[in-house]
Structures are given as C-alpha cells and as structure tokens.
C-alpha cells in the first residue's frame, strides 16, 4: 500500500505518522505565564538535538482553531521551560494534564501534582518526575500555518535533575528503574523495560552514552 501524502488530508496524515513513527518519548513541559501561573502539558513530538550546545526540541502544533497552545504562548512571553520525563507511575497524571484547560489554570492543581522549584529557570518542575531538564529558549521554528502546523521549540539545556533512585550501581541511569512511557498511535503507550544490547562497530562517533 502506498499513501500519497500530497493528497492525504492533514488529519489522516497525522494518524499514519503517529501510528508509524514510534515509540515517541514524551516531554512533559512546565512553563509559566507572565504573571507567574504554572502550566504543564505533554508533547510526544520530542527529541534531543545535539550536545554542543546541549539542546532539545519539542513541537506544540497549532490548536483546532489554528491558535497557539498555552505552552507556546508562555514560552514566547517567558522564554524558559522544564522538560519532565514520565515514568509509568505518572502516566495517568501525565494524560490528565493534556486536558484543554482555560489559559492560566494550572494543570499541576488539576492533576494533583506537587511542583518543586527549579534551579536555574522560573517554571517549576514536577516534584515526582525522575528526571527534569531545565531549558532556556534557543528559538521557535514555525513549520506551516493554520490548524496542525508545527512550532518547533528548540531549548538550550542548562540543568538536569536526576533522582538517585533511577541510578544503577555503576552510577549510570538504569532504564528499568527509570521505567519511562513512550507513545504509540492513538491512546497506546509502551514502557522502556524491554531492553537489549548491541555493541557498536569500532570507530565512529566518540560520543557514546
């Protein structure tokens, strides 16, 4: 079967892309409004970019009315954010923060989540998250216009909080202890517990985790 994306409606293209480009990590992004009200929302169009400078990206797409999501509005006004990672234990809470609340209403309160102060940026982090990555805004790159268009938010990583409880005896992150969820198509998710190892060929990049 061949899908011609030049003829597909954006909604159908979205369905095929999100069911095939999997699994996607989830950035659970906290921001604040200019008057200091916190906001929290999940984004699975999310990835690291590079380590020099340490950078990541996530993509708030435009709303069904073509407008900006609260997260983007906040970042444009207060150019700092925290990417919290989502373990299985917080999956339901993460999902509840995707509810479209009125601007200025806190998803921390809505989901019963405690905020914790960040070290270098103003938005709070999710206290219960095993990893929280503090970022300042590098730039926003707009892709397309109207409903479903993307706004690639590129962030400069300035600090990372890592819970001791997810570290192994070697001091590295143990993926089974981290137990993150990743997004598949629709309402489906998976967990990062099914781990296997492949040694890399000799040579190549010096940057290996």
28 binding ligand FMN? (CB under 6 A) = no
69 binding ligand FMN? (CB under 6 A) = yes
Alpha helix segments (H runs only) across the chain: 10-20, 70-77, 91-96, 107-111, 175-178
71 binding ligand FMN? (CB under 6 A) = yes
Least Cβ distance, residue 15 to ligand FMN (angstroms): 14
Of these, 25, 38, 42, 79, which contacts ligand FMN (CB under 6 A)?
42
User: CA–CA separation, 129 vs 40, rounded Å?
Assistant: 13
125 binding ligand FMN? (CB under 6 A) = no
Taking the CA atoms of residue 122, residue 123, residue 126 and residue 130 in that order, the dihedral angle to the nearest 10 degrees is -60
Q: Decide: residue 162, CB within 10 A, 0-12 exposed, 13-18 middle, 19+ buried.
A: middle
Of these, 25, 30, 57, 60, which contacts ligand FMN (CB under 6 A)?
60
Q: Annotate each residue in 98-117 with x if it binds ligand FMN (CB under 6 A) or - if it does not, as one string.
A: x-x-----------------
User: CA–CA separation, 65 vs 119, rounded Å?
Assistant: 36
Long-range (24+ apart) CB contacts under 8 A made by 161-168 are 161/119, 161/125, 161/131, 161/132, 161/133, 161/134, 162/130, 162/131, 163/130, 163/131, 165/130, 166/130, 166/131
Q: Among all chains, which residue has been given the structure tokens 């629709």?
A: 186
Among the candidate windows 49-57, 59-67, 113-121, 131-139, which touches ligand FMN by CB under 6 A?
59-67
Among the candidate windows 35-43, 125-133, 152-160, 194-202, which touches ligand FMN by CB under 6 A?
35-43
The H or E element containing residue 142 is strand 131-143
41 binding ligand FMN? (CB under 6 A) = yes
Binding residue count for ligand FMN, defined by CB under 6 A: 17
Q: Given the complex with ligand FMN, which of 18 and 55 has the nearer CB atom?
A: 18
Of these, 25, 30, 38, 39, which contacts ligand FMN (CB under 6 A)?
39
Of these, 44, 84, 106, 118, which contacts ligand FMN (CB under 6 A)?
44
59 binding ligand FMN? (CB under 6 A) = yes
Least Cβ distance, residue 18 to ligand FMN (angstroms): 9
> Are 129 and 90 in contact, with CB atoms under 8 Å apart?
yes
> Are 1 and 8 in contact, with CB atoms under 8 Å apart?
no
- Residues of this chain that interact with ligand FMN (CB under 6 A) are 26, 39, 41-45, 59-61, 69-71, 95, 98, 100, 183
């Amino acid at each position: 079967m061949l899908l011609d994306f030049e003829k597909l409606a954006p909604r159908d293209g979205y369905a095929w892309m999100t069911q095939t480009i999997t699994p996607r990590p989830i950035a659970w992004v906290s921001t604040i409004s200019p008057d200091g009200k916190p906001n929290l929302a999940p984004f699975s169009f999310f990835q690291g970019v590079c380590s020099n400078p340490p950078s990541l990206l996530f993509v708030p797409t435009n709303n069904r009315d073509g407008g900006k999501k609260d997260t983007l509005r906040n970042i444009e006004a207060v150019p700092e954010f925290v990417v919290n990672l989502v373990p299985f234990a917080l999956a339901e809470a993460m999902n509840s923060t995707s509810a479209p609340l009125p601007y200025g209403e806190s998803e921390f309160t809505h989901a019963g989540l405690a905020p914790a102060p960040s070290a270098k940026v103003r938005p709070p982090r999710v206290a219960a998250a095993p990893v929280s990555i503090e970022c300042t805004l590098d730039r926003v790159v707009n892709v397309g216009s109207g409903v479903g268009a993307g706004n690639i938010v590129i962030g400069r990583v300035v600090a990372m909080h890592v819970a001791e409880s997810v570290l192994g005896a070697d001091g590295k992150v143990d993926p089974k202890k981290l137990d993150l969820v990743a997004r598949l198509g629709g309402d489906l998710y998976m967990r990062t517990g099914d781990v296997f190892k492949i040694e890399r060929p000799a040579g190549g990049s010096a940057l290996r985790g």
